[in-house]
Structure 1
Amino acid sequence: MLTVTDLMTVVPDTIPPETTLRDIIGMMKMEGYRHLPVVADGKLVGIITDRDVRLVMNSPMVLHERRQDEDLLDQVTAESCMTPNPVTVKPDTPAYRAAEILSMYKFGALPVVAGDSLVGIITVTDFLDYFAANHKA
């Protein structure tokens, strides 16, 4: 049976909770990431997505209070805009179950944990790549 281990990115890049929005955006642009696990003291504490970043940049704090985007980039941290305690899967979770979770909750990614440790991340793109590679006509 196909498992999460077969499709996931092993030991993905992570960020600490105090990472600024400027650094998050820079990392996402440079590496092409849309999801970054947030890790503190070796434990997964959250996940931040490109959608989270867009929400912060379009928040009432920016739109109504006329705060400068530049201020936000250096003051907002991952901890303040991440999804805390995200839904996770284990390495031996059947791949179809991870796909069901991604679809059901409209997530783009799921952190993969073994015990308290982040060991990978599985994304919708991982499933698309697998499908494309294994179902050519």
Structure 2
Amino acid sequence: MVTVNDLMTVIPSSIAPNTPMRTVIGVMKTEGCRQLPVLENGKLVGIITDRDVRLVMNSPVVLHGRWQDEDLLDNVTAESCMTPNPITVTPSTPAYRAAEMLSIYKFGALPVLENDTVVGIITVTDFLDYAARVLAEDVIPG
């Protein structure tokens, strides 16, 4: 049986709750990721996504100036827009269960915890990569 451990990104980048949006965006760009676990004293306290960042930075109802964007980037922290206490899985969770959770809850990722320590993150992209490999095996003789 395929487990989360077989597909997850091992030891993902993470940030602290007091990390400003400018740094959050920088880490996401540098690491090429759309979700970051938020850790405080080594413990998972939340998850922040690119959607959370977009909601902070781009209100479709409120027009604001460039200086206000700079203020948001420097003064809004991960803690103020993260999802606290996210749903998690373990490395031994069957992969299909994690896929069901991502689908049911419309999440992009689930932190992977082992003994209360973040050891990875499982994302929709991890599942797409896996599906692409499996489907390619049907087309390309192994």
Match of 2:51 in 1: 51
- Where does structure 1 lack aligned partners over 5 or more consecutive residues? none
Q: Does 1:108 align with 2:90?
A: no
Q: Does 1:34 align with 2:34?
A: yes
Report if aligned partners of 2:13, 2:31 keep a CA contact under 8 Å in 1. no
TM-score (norm 2): 0.90
Aligned length: 136
In 2, the alpha carbon distance for the partners of 1:110 and 1:96 equals: 13
Match of 2:62 in 1: 63
Deviation string, structure 1 residues 23-71 (Cα, Å, up to 9, x no partner): 01111112211000000011000000000000111348x8267671000
CA RMSD of aligned residues (A): 1.6
Moved runs in structure 1, 4+ residues, more than 3 A?
64-67
In 1, the alpha carbon distance for the partners of 2:76 and 2:133 equals: 40
Q: Indicate the larger mover: 88-97 or 21-30.
A: 21-30
SS of corresponding position for 2:100: helix
In 2, the alpha carbon distance for the partners of 1:129 and 1:69 equals: 35
In 2, the alpha carbon distance for the partners of 1:73 and 1:108 equals: 23
Following superposition, the deviation at residue 115 of structure 1 comes to: 2.0
In 2, the alpha carbon distance for the partners of 1:77 and 1:59 equals: 17
SS of corresponding position for 2:99: helix
- Where does structure 2 lack aligned partners over 5 or more consecutive residues? none
SS of corresponding position for 1:63: coil
Larger radius of gyration: 2
